[in-house]
Structure 1
Amino acid sequence: MPGVAIPHLPASLQGVVNLPANLQDPPSRTELGRVSNLANHAGSQRKDNIITDDDLGMVVGFQQEVSTAYGAAALGNAIALAVGIGPGGLAGAIAAAVGPAVAAAVGPAIAAALAPVIQRLDNIETKLNRTLSFAAAAHNRHQVDGNLPNRSFEVVPFTDGTMPPAALPNLVNIDIIRQLSDVDTRAYYRGYGGTANNLSMPKKREFIRVAVGCTVEL
């Protein structure tokens, strides 16, 4: 079944990695690796002025789509494994099969048995969040200052994987970063992992600029 659509690649990138005509849905680990290699080739070719910024942005966007689809599928599989099937999940299924009293008695054993699965789920979620953050920042590094038509920044998740609260302005271009209030600057600085409370506001905004992948100086 076709998955993420493969864009029309520049001639110099066609055939540099062995991509199928259509990606699986969801993409396989092998396909994810090949798309990552494609993005690396695109970065090298951009440095050599073989392809344009738009070409590179297209490839990075494609890589982001594939990474997101792969990570979402892995997370979904882990959730299904962790919570079981049907209403009430695994615990509900056990209670229905053996009765509430027996289910309550074996509850601690069930929890212990599920602990490795839950840990695996947490690990997958962490990796997915890191992938999404990396992909968004990588995309932004090729959007100049975010002010060109159709070249705004993508919002980069915080280091804990959550999206910035709706009360904060979306950092879609460098002007918004420059105009952040002190309160919003502190919130973004902490969200992106900043810990030096005595850092000046301009330096905190510079930290934020780097965290979201903006390559233009403030």
Structure 2
Amino acid sequence: GWIQHQFDSAGKKSFELAARARQFSSFLLMVGVMGGANEFHPKDAIILQNKDEVFIPLLLHSLPTAKDFKDAIASLSPEQQRFAKSFRGMQLESSVFGICIVQLKPQMEVLLGLPNGALTKEIRLTQDLMSLFVDYQIPSDLLSFDGGGEDATLKEKVEAVKWHVKAVMGVIEDSKQTQLEEKAKEAAMSVSNMVANATAEDVAAMRFKTSASSAAMVHQPQMAMMQMSMESSPEL
């Protein structure tokens, strides 16, 4: 835990939460409030992986200590004291900031039906799994180990997951290629429609531009030949 002590002579300081993931590592960072001694209520979460870095400013509000609070309510009526204590309890319950970090690789191993530590050296497989889960929202049922037998070895389980990942990645690549081909067809169709819908004035303008550019190309060699003939003529 962390308790911030503040003195009258000290100025206000700003604090921020800094989190950074190492290369080929990933974790889930959750921020929230403490609901009790063993209870955490997450409010927001973010996935950090492959050298991702995040800075979260902390907006802190100081609360009076127990002694200051007791002295402040000493002159109140019993009903007002009960209300003040209840309100302070709500403040303490909802204002104690909490952080929770969940490593994603062990959770993926449990989700995919793999033994503990099965993805430790499978860097490429782990990256592909993260991409499928985060970027494409692929259900884990399509990637998990099917349970081909209780006596299956660790290598067989990992190879089964690799095969599922490869199959899903192939479907995604085929879908991307199909989308690219459709976009190319749409672009070609758009150009064809523009040419088909061109008016006579547009065609005349295009012909004028073509003839003007051809005339300029012919005019330039003629000027060059005249200049060469003038330079080569003998002086009188």
TM-score range, shorter chain: under 0.3
Q: TM-score, normalised by structure 1?
A: 0.24
Alignment TM-score, normalising by the size of structure 2: 0.22
Higher strand residue share: 2
